[in-house]
Structure 1
Amino acid sequence: MSSPSRVLITGGAGFIGSHYVRTLVSGGYAAFAEAEVVVLDLLTYAGNEANLAPVAGSPQLRFVRGDIRDTDLVAKLMVGTDVVVHFAAESHVDRSITGAADFVSTNVAGTQVLLQGALDAGVTTFVQVSTDEVYGSIDEGSWTEETPIAPNSPYSAAKAGGDLLARSYHRTYGMDVRITRCTNNYGPYHFPEKVVPLFITNLLDGLPVPLYGDGGNVRDWLHVDDHCRGIQLVAERGRPGEIYHIGGGTELTNRELTTLLLEATGRDESFIRPVADRLGHDRRYSLDDTKIRAELGYAPATDFATGLADTVRWYRENRAWWEPLRARAAL
């Protein structure tokens, strides 16, 4: 891909999107270094303009507060855009269980508005950022990009719907649409309702942590910087119409993760509070990421022990960022 003149990043004030924006604007992705960067974000509960504070003064960056479901706004922003990287999504499984409508509206209908806007404007490349959760649960082995999707929560079903629409725009209209699916992310600027930041901030405050069920659910952990680097490789050199898995290579049960967080914060197992399991809780996720490694040279660069220690340190040193978020969300 030639260097784009403008990149539109949806959800660029969220956890993963803002990391991508900060890295891009700071010169971390050489192929996009000269591009104008437009961030479209509605700033719902998990979107936070403070996540972009480190690069807010850059003349390269333009922030637009708006909704990906706003057809007129999306059409205007697509004009002159070369690449769309679509992070925007309702993403918390627990919230989807108690209120699925927003997930369907944003993750399915919103994605369709973006795809149509990109098609109408002649956008060169559209990257749909998705999740391993669309596959459901797997007891042994790992999913490949050819595995049929079988989502089990309203969140993952809505993400799967967006993925299917993305695929359809490639097959029907010939759009250059590329899909990434990642494992569980962790790192700084993560909204403190998700398990890693929730447990870290609880433990720093001397509060117990709620562990679902028997704690035996397994997830693969991926540092947000590695995830964003994988997305960038797909944006630059991925093949149109293809799906790429981005993995971290560190599978842990939730109880094993909790033990590591207890050790990192100087707490003991008395801080664990068992709670009833989540409805329809997937037992294990596991992606085979051979394809992105072989085709694009991807490999995670942040080992989990270092990444987790750095993440705990960041939350310890940035109370001014997360304390207001916890208070607002009544966590």
Structure 2
Amino acid sequence: MAETFEGRNVLVVGGAGFVGSNLVRFILKQQPRKLTIIDNFLSADPINVPDHPAVRLVSSSIANDRVLREIDDDLDYAYHLACYHGNQSSIHDPLADHENNNITSLKLFERLKDIKSLKKVVYAAAGCAVAAKTFDGAQATKEDAPVSLFHDSPYSISKLVGEMYGNYYFMRHGMPFVKARFQNVYGPGEILGAGRWRGTPATVWRNVTPTFIWKALHGEALPVENGGIASRDFIFVEDMARGLMACALRGEPGEIYNLGSGVETTILELAERVNELSANDTAIAMTPARDWDRSGQRFGDPSKAREKLGFEAQVPHLEGLRRTVEWAREFRPCILRCMMQHVHFLPELRRYESTAR
């Protein structure tokens, strides 16, 4: 019989976040004995935490020594999904990125190495950190792609450092470490402005899909940079949750797996689809390229995850976008509440004050 999470003790660090909360809901369907969420709500909102008898929430950074000591010694599975979210926030404050990405990973792995019951430790790695830097046509990035020593952001660097620390603890201490390399996740639960101010407008306007959907629902022009030629591999968050579960249940310690759709979609195509689904007639606004971003075109090769884990993304991009637009309409008051807590820093957000009434 295939392994499941039934009766298991699971830890999800970053479990209140966008991806983490979707993963938690999927794991809960398999009736774990206990599921502990540790999250400092730096970029998450409490509304994403399920009310379930198996769930224990710890509101803290995983770098807190007391919290680390109190982690159960009989864990079966652990997920490390917490991070200092986003390239632009890390560029603005590299020290905060280091504190929330590098220190957290090192301290967590140092604690987990002594838990002998662990079957798997799954780490959220970043596909952007290994993709070729190109605007001249992308090729699917494989897991063994060469890693450059020159990066566009501290975020990209720290996500790779997390992989390296995990590899060290796997080799030195036998920690059953599996790397799940994320492509561009989107879907319900990604709340613009969730958490605390992190120094730049990217605190609110974080990823491209929720930003486009919010603006389209308000009849605004979607800002498309550099002619929209940049491309990404968009994977629906429920597919990502299934992929993360497959990494824990069937992944091989020491290995890395791309979790993505394997489909390249341009940002212009994304904008056009969002406008269509949102009935937004306002013309797309073409804007200059971002001066820091050299990884313009990229998508992942998911063949290893398909062959070794039996995992394949199931939700087509247009269908995933449709479901995300519907969710954003329904949860508009919650999204607005999170956005408006940053109005002191972004006064232009006041134009949305009446939209959810």
Q: Same fold (TM over 0.5)?
A: yes
1:295 is aligned to 308
> How far did residue 287 of structure 1 move?
1.4
Q: Which runs of 5+ in 1 are unaligned?
A: none
Count of residue pairs brought into register by the alignment: 322
1:183 is aligned to 183
- Whether the 8 Å contact between 1:94 and 1:278 is mirrored in structure 2 is no
Does the C-alpha gap of structure 1 residues 71 and 160 become closer, same or farther in structure 2, counting only changes over 3 Å? same
2:39 is aligned to 41
SS at match of 2:228: coil
2:90 is aligned to 96
The letter of the residue matching 1:293 is R
Q: Which runs of 5+ in 2 are unaligned?
A: 193-204, 350-357
Deviations 1:291-323 (A, max 9, x none): 110112111111111111111111011112211
The letter of the residue matching 1:104 is H
One of 82, 86, 92 as aligned partner of 2:80: 86
Q: More displaced, 223-232 or 271-280? A: 271-280
SS at match of 2:188: coil
> How far did residue 160 of structure 1 move?
0.7
Deviations 1:127-186 (A, max 9, x none): 111120110435432222111223432111111111111111111111110000021011
Q: More displaced, 202-211 or 246-255? A: 202-211
Q: How far apart in 2 are the matches of 1:263 and 1:63?
A: 39
Runs of 4+ in 1 over 4 A off after TM superposition: 1-4
- Whether the 8 Å contact between 2:84 and 2:96 is mirrored in structure 1 is yes
- Whether the 8 Å contact between 2:222 and 2:285 is mirrored in structure 1 is yes
- Whether the 8 Å contact between 1:238 and 1:296 is mirrored in structure 2 is yes
Q: What TM-score does the superposition give when structure 1 sets the normalisation length?
A: 0.92
Does residue 135 (structure 1) correspond to residue 138 (structure 2)? The answer is no
> How far did residue 72 of structure 1 move?
2.7
- Whether the 8 Å contact between 1:212 and 1:278 is mirrored in structure 2 is no
Does residue 224 (structure 1) correspond to residue 219 (structure 2)? The answer is no
> How far did residue 214 of structure 1 move?
2.5
Q: More displaced, 172-181 or 265-274? A: 265-274
One of 15, 20, 24 as aligned partner of 1:17: 20
Does the C-alpha gap of structure 1 residues 256 and 107 become closer, same or farther in structure 2, counting only changes over 3 Å? same
Q: How far apart in 2 are the matches of 1:275 and 1:205?
A: 23
Q: What TM-score does the superposition give when structure 2 sets the normalisation length?
A: 0.85
One of 251, 256, 275 as aligned partner of 2:264: 251
Q: How far apart in 2 are the matches of 1:94 and 1:287?
A: 22
2:195 is aligned to none
SS at match of 1:211: strand
CA RMSD of aligned residues (A): 1.8
Does the C-alpha gap of structure 1 residues 100 and 220 become closer, same or farther in structure 2, counting only changes over 3 Å? same
Q: More displaced, 81-90 or 10-19? A: 81-90
Q: Residues 238-317 of structure 1: matches in 2 within 5 Å?
A: 238-272=251-285, 274-317=287-330
Does the C-alpha gap of structure 1 residues 205 and 297 become closer, same or farther in structure 2, counting only changes over 3 Å? same
Q: How far apart in 1 are the matches of 2:101 and 2:79?
A: 14
